[in-house]
């Protein structure tokens, strides 16, 4: 609580809080939401699952099918993390360790290396139960502590998990276990990508249903009460510790299920599959979609996986970058003419700068764009693209690139401090231009790194400007 | 009993521990005032190590330094402290301050984002390979104390002395100055402090500056001892710093120092002896397992740590 706020007399705050629900109901999005909520859950789920089930029929490339399966695994992971983060309000930083445990445990009961091949009807439930129990045990030492300690214990647990996997002999270290056997149900093996797509989809539907039922049960209500105010929940005689442990174990179990489906599909498990990068990616999905909202989490998973996949190739990445920028500006700026005006101003500003620089220091615009899209033909005569700014491995060769990147970060941050909306709009012109220049000359040559920078920035920006994500419900915190 | 080995491990442990103590101090100070787990703290350390490396290169490099060696090291530490202090202030201003009234989980997620952003920004600008401080060229390995089984390289002495000096300076700042009083008051009760006319925002910004500057200094010290830095180094040091703060008693300054030394020594000893104790079944990489067990033991038996006060919930 800032002192600045305390100086202002807080007259009317209570009334504002009391009418929050009323105001919320007046907005169009929420009214749509309420209308959707009146449709029975089973129908809504079918309405989503059936079109998704057509996906393997519509796409004909193995690559796209594989991306679809990965997306569904991520949806499953997001749904599980949502229990701990969105409903119970615990920061579980060891979440991907449970995913990894599920995958490795499956490999332990069904791989050539282990010399066993259990039926999936036994193996998968056993793995899920085992992972949930481990999650429960891990939660025990942090049971009487605030959520912050849980974050440390779980983060360290992830670290330990990776250390053990990489260094111990029986998990074959960094080489992983490479001959995991496919899922086998009553003698029939799932080998095709389509089969795994439908199995994972079915798992998503089952988990979503289970989570929906739990969320609308006594336990679900208790979880949310706990998240909103632990002390009050405890005074209402809710067993807060037991509820937290239950939520924690529940999430772990879902992650274990995702792992048990992921391992046979990939046919191999490696320690590198379960690192911090995956953890933050799953967090980005849950937070973007809206923690606490099942549908939102699924949408978040689809958006994040899709964007990460698109950011692999420079051509698609260009599309995504300029497209996302334009759409965001159009969505945020009011009245409507401001966004096109801003874009036009940026283009004109860019052309002018480009001309001036070309006359003064031709080497600063002599580079060639990396992407292959027709967009690059357009940006070639517009952005500042110094020659040799990046070396062969994509790194900036001199101080210029690093300075430009730092200047971009600093100017974006400074722009958020500008109070007057007119000046902010004026300031956006050079910042957008700088962003495009840095994007073309630094980020695009290293799309794999650029995408994680964007995820990190997105997490911070979301928390500051829209903590409820795309579909979550804004929460009013009263102190 | 191999005394030489034990003494050497203790020396390693104390050096490592003093670095952990610096990290734990910054972390513990921020936690004391904001009740916020600054998960990006380790990455601030990493940025500090890179600033120190940049300063080293700018001053001519380890082979052929343009200034005296002691001045070079001092300038590297100061540059890292200034840069990281500003970085910490920026992180507070843009990632945490908008979330002061948000649910508790929000700033933690924001911190994850900051951590990821910093790591990948450094990866983008400097690449994934290890960068070297070339400390062995800077100071000869032979220089130092050689006394019986005790062999201490001078850089280790410098690191421990620098860490100690900073801790003493911080202790004086917190206990003897008006600013320190304001910091203690804010940590005790933020609202009451604000009502007493303390500019709470300024205290918080100062705390972030000091804590991050300590992390930056720790980054340079790590670079000096181990010689190598990369974009991912912050994770391990950050994690050990958190654990040191928890074991020492979160929010307590002497606790953070004690916890840091304790974790450092435990880690060094377990690296040295884990193979012997387990008859070669577990390698030195498993020393993290020992530290983890200690963390869990503390959580179970003494959650307030060595010197912390048990938390009392106020309504």
Give the Cα separation of B21 and B14 in Å (integer).
10
What does the pLDDT read at residue A3? 45
Q: Do A469 and A462 meet the contact criterion of CB atoms below 8 Å apart?
A: yes
What does the pLDDT read at residue A376? 66
Q: Nearest chain A Cα to B106, which residue?
A: A463
Give the Cα separation of B239 and B45 in Å (integer).
12
Q: Would the CB atoms of B94 and A459 count as touching at under 8 Å?
A: no
Q: Nearest chain A Cα to B99, which residue?
A: A464
What does the pLDDT read at residue A11? 66
Q: Would the CB atoms of B105 and A479 count as touching at under 8 Å?
A: no
Helix B41-58 × helix B105-126 angle, to 10°: 30
The secondary structure of A69-80 as a DSSP string is: HHHHHHHHHHHH
CA B149 to chain A, closest CA, distance in angstroms equals 32
Confidence of residue A145 (pLDDT cuts 50, 70, 90): low
Of residues B96, B95, B115, the one with CA closest to residue B41 = B115
| Cα Rg, chain A, nearest whole Å | 25
pLDDT tens per residue across span A62-96: 888 899 999 999 999 999 999 888 888 888 888 99
Residue B280 has pLDDT above 80, yes or no: no
Q: Nearest chain A Cα to B301, which residue?
A: A141
Give the Cα separation of B252 and B258 in Å (integer).
10
Task: Measure the CA angle with vertex A205, ends A203 and A267; round to 5°.
Answer: 25
Among the partner-chain residues B105, B110, B120, the one whose CB lies closest to the CB of A453 is B120
Q: Best-predicted range by mean pLDDT among A108-117, B148-157, B233-242?
A: B233-242
- Using the Cβ of B129 and the Cβ atoms of chain A, whether some distance falls under 8 Å is answered with no
Q: Would the CB atoms of B285 and A166 count as touching at under 8 Å?
A: yes
Long-range CB pairs of B89-93, under 8 A, 24+ apart, other chains included? B89/B205, B89/B208, B89/B209, B89/B212, B90/A413, B91/B38, B91/B40, B91/B44, B91/B208, B91/B212, B92/B204, B92/B205, B92/B208, B93/B205
Query: Three-state SS for A11?
Result: coil
Residue positions counted in chain B: 315
- Which range is least confidently modeled, A122-131, A146-155, A226-235, A354-363? A146-155
- The answer for A 315-374 residues in CB contact with B (under 8 A) is none
Confidence of residue B52 (pLDDT cuts 50, 70, 90): very high
- The answer for A 196-235 residues in CB contact with B (under 8 A) is 227, 231
Q: Spell out which residues of chain A touch residue B241, defining contact as CB-CB under 8 Å.
A: none
What does the pLDDT read at residue A406? 92
Q: Would the CB atoms of A157 and B292 count as touching at under 8 Å?
A: yes
Confidence of residue A9 (pLDDT cuts 50, 70, 90): low
Q: What is the mean pLDDT of residues A104-130?
A: 85
- Using the Cβ of A464 and the Cβ atoms of chain B, whether some distance falls under 8 Å is answered with yes
Residue given tokens 């079109």 in the structure block:
A51
Residue A168 has pLDDT above 80, yes or no: no
Q: Is B305 left (phi over 0), alpha (psi -120 to 50) or beta?
A: left
Q: What is the mean pLDDT of residues A148-158?
A: 84
Q: Do A275 and A281 meet the contact criterion of CB atoms below 8 Å apart?
A: no
Confidence of residue B250 (pLDDT cuts 50, 70, 90): confident
Of residues B248, B222, B204, B289, the one with CA closest to residue B24 = B248
Long-range CB pairs of A49-58, under 8 A, 24+ apart, other chains included? A49/A201, A49/A204, A49/A205, A52/A201, A53/A198, A53/A201, A55/A197, A56/A193, A56/A194, A56/A197, A56/A198
Q: Would the CB atoms of A467 and B315 count as touching at under 8 Å?
A: no
What does the pLDDT read at residue A4? 47
Give the Cα separation of A285 and A297 in Å (integer).
6
Q: Would the CB atoms of B101 and A1 count as touching at under 8 Å?
A: yes
- Using the Cβ of B101 and the Cβ atoms of chain A, whether some distance falls under 8 Å is answered with yes
Give the Cα separation of A473 and A362 in Å (integer).
52
Give the Cα separation of B235 and B115 in Å (integer).
9
Tokens of B117: 């952003």
- Using the Cβ of B30 and the Cβ atoms of chain A, whether some distance falls under 8 Å is answered with no
- Which range is least confidently modeled, A163-177, A203-217, B26-40, B235-249? A163-177
CA B163 to chain A, closest CA, distance in angstroms equals 24
- Using the Cβ of A467 and the Cβ atoms of chain B, whether some distance falls under 8 Å is answered with yes
- Which range is least confidently modeled, B43-47, B69-73, B256-260, B283-287? B283-287
Of residues B6, B47, B37, B34, the one with CA closest to residue B218 = B47
- Using the Cβ of B181 and the Cβ atoms of chain A, whether some distance falls under 8 Å is answered with no
Q: Would the CB atoms of A151 and B39 count as touching at under 8 Å?
A: yes
Q: Spell out which residues of chain B touch residue A148, defining contact as CB-CB under 8 Å.
A: 31, 35, 37, 104, 108
Q: Do B100 and B204 meet the contact criterion of CB atoms below 8 Å apart?
A: no
pLDDT tens per residue across span B68-107: 888 999 999 999 999 999 999 999 999 999 888 777 788 8
CA A106 to chain B, closest CA, distance in angstroms equals 24
CA B143 to chain A, closest CA, distance in angstroms equals 35
Q: Which residues of B168-195 are buried (b: 16+ CB within 10 A; e: fewer)?
A: eebeeebeeeebbebbbbbbeebeebbe
CA A197 to chain B, closest CA, distance in angstroms equals 31
Q: Would the CB atoms of B103 and A475 count as touching at under 8 Å?
A: yes
Of residues A468, A147, A45, A456, the one with CA closest to residue A291 = A468
Residue B315 has pLDDT above 70, yes or no: no
Of residues A33, A98, A346, A76, the one with CA closest to residue A210 = A76
What does the pLDDT read at residue B210? 94
What does the pLDDT read at residue A95? 92
Q: Spell out which residues of chain B touch residue A156, defining contact as CB-CB under 8 Å.
A: 239, 243, 288, 291-292, 295
Q: Would the CB atoms of A458 and B113 count as touching at under 8 Å?
A: yes
More confident call, B216 vs A463:
B216
Distances (CA, A) of A322 to A192, A376, A379, B207: 37, 11, 11, 39
Among the partner-chain residues B103, B191, B199, the one whose CB lies closest to the CB of A477 is B103
What does the pLDDT read at residue B78? 95
- The answer for A 376-405 residues in CB contact with B (under 8 A) is 393, 395-396, 401-402, 405
Q: Do A411 and A401 meet the contact criterion of CB atoms below 8 Å apart?
A: no
Among the partner-chain residues A142, A156, A402, the one whose CB lies closest to the CB of B292 is A156
What does the pLDDT read at residue A39? 81
Q: Do A66 and A55 meet the contact criterion of CB atoms below 8 Å apart?
A: no
User: What is chain A's mean pLDDT, rounded?
Assistant: 83
Distances (CA, A) of A87 to A291, A294, B89: 8, 10, 32
What does the pLDDT read at residue B33? 87
Give the Cα separation of B154 and B15 in Å (integer).
11
What does the pLDDT read at residue B218? 94
CA B221 to chain A, closest CA, distance in angstroms equals 24
Q: Spell out which residues of chain A touch residue B124, defining contact as CB-CB under 8 Å.
A: 395-396, 405, 442-443, 446, 449-450, 453
What does the pLDDT read at residue A1? 41
pLDDT tens per residue across span A321-353: 888 888 888 888 878 888 889 989 998 998 888
Q: Which residues of A312-350 are buried (b: 16+ CB within 10 A; e: fewer)?
A: eebbbbbebbbeebeeebeeebeeeebbeebbebbbeeb
Q: What is the mean pLDDT of residues A376-380?
A: 71
Q: Would the CB atoms of B296 and A141 count as touching at under 8 Å?
A: yes
Query: Please, what's the largest Cα pairwise distance for chain A?
Result: 76
pLDDT tens per residue across span A280-336: 999 999 988 887 788 888 889 999 998 888 888 777 788 888 888 888 888 888 788
Residue in B34, B124, B131, B196 to test binding to A, most A beta-carbons within 10 Å: B124
Distance spanning both ends of chain B, measured CA to CA: 55
Residue B49 has pLDDT above 50, yes or no: yes
């Amino acid at each position: 609580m800032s002192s600045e706020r305390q100086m202002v007399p807080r007259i009317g705050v209570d009334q504002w809080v009391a009418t929050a629900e009323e105001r919320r109901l007046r907005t169009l999005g929420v009214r749509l939401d309420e209308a959707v909520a009146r449709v029975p859950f089973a129908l809504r789920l079918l309405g989503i699952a059936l079109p998704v089930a057509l996906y393997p029929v519509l796409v004909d490339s193995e690559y796209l099918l594989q991306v679809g399966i990965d997306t569904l695994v991520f949806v499953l992971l997001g749904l599980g993390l949502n229990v701990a983060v969105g409903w119970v309000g615990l920061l579980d930083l060891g979440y991907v360790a449970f995913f990894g445990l599920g995958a490795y445990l499956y490999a332990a009961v069904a791989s050539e290396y282990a010399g066993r091949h259990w039926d999936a009807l036994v193996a998968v439930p056993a793995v899920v139960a085992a992972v949930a129990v481990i999650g429960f045990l891990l939660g025990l030492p942090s049971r009487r502590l605030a959520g912050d300690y849980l974050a440390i214990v779980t983060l360290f647990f992830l670290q330990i998990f990776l250390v053990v996997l990489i260094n111990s002999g029986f998990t074959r270290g960094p080489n992983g276990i490479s001959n995991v056997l496919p899922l086998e149900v009553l003698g029939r093996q799932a080998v095709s990508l389509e089969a795994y797509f439908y199995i994972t989809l079915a798992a998503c539907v089952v988990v979503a249903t289970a989570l929906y039922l739990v969320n609308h049960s006594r336990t679900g209500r208790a979880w949310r009460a706990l998240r909103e105010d632990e002390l009050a929940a405890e005074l209402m005689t809710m067993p807060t510790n037991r509820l937290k442990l239950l939520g924690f174990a529940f999430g772990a179990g879902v992650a274990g299920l995702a792992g048990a489906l992921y391992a046979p599909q990939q046919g191999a498990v490696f320690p590198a599959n379960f690192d911090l990068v995956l953890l933050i990616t799953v967090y980005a999905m849950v937070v973007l979609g809206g923690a606490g909202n099942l549908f939102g989490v699924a949408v978040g998973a689809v958006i994040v996986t899709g964007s990460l996949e698109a950011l692999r190739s420079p051509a698609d990445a260009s599309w995504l970058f300029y497209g996302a920028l334009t759409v965001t500006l159009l969505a945020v700026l009011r009245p409507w003419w401001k966004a096109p005006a801003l874009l036009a101003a940026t283009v004109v500003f860019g052309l002018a700068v480009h001309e001036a620089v070309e006359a003064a220091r031709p080497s600063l615009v002599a580079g060639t764009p990396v992407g292959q899209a027709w967009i690059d033909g357009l940006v070639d005569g517009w952005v500042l693209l110094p020659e040799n700014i990046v070396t062969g491995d994509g790194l900036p060769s001199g101080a210029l690139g690093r300075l430009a990147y730092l200047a971009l970060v600093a100017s974006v941050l400074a722009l958020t401090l500008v109070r007057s909306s007119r000046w902010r709009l004026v300031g956006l012109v050079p910042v957008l231009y700088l962003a495009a220049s840095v994007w073309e000359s630094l980020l695009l040559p290293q799309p794999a790194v650029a995408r994680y920078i964007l995820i990190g920035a997105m997490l911070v920006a979301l928390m500051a400007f829209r903590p409820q994500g795309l579909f979550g419900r804004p929460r009013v915190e009263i102190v | 009993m191999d005394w030489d080995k034990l003494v050497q491990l203790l020396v390693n442990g104390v050096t490592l521990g003093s670095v952990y103590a610096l990290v734990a101090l910054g972390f513990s100070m921020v936690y004391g005032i904001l009740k916020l787990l600054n998960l990006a703290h380790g990455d601030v350390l990493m940025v500090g190590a890179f600033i120190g490396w940049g300063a080293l290169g700018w001053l001519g490099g380890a082979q052929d330094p343009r200034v005296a060696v002691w001045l070079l090291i001092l300038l590297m530490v100061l540059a890292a402290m200034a840069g990281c202090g500003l970085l910490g202030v920026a992180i507070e201003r843009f990632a945490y301050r908008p979330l002061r009234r948000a649910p508790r989980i929000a700033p933690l997620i924001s911190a994850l984002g900051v951590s990821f952003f910093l790591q990948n920004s450094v990866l983008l600008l400097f690449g994934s390979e290890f960068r070297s401080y070339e400390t062995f060229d800077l100071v000869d390995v032979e220089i130092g104390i050689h006394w019986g089984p005790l062999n201490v390289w001078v850089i280790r002495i410098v690191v421990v002395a620098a860490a100690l000096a900073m801790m003493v300076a911080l202790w004086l700042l917190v206990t003897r100055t008006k600013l320190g009083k304001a910091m203690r008051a804010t940590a005790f009760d933020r609202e009451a402090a604000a009502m007493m006319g303390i500019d709470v925002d300024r205290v918080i910004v100062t705390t972030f500056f000091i804590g991050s500057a300590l992390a930056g200094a720790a980054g340079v010290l790590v670079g000096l001892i181990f010689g190598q830095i990369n974009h991912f180094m912050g994770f391990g040091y950050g994690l050990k710093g958190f654990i040191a703060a928890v074991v020492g008693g979160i929010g307590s300054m002497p606790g953070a120092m004690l916890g840091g030394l304790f974790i450092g020594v435990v880690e060094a000893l377990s690296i040295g002896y884990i193979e012997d104790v387990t008859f070669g079944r577990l390698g030195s990489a498993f020393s993290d397992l020992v530290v983890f067990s200690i963390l869990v033991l503390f959580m179970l038996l003494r959650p307030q740590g060595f010197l912390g006060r048990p938390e009392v919930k106020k309504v």
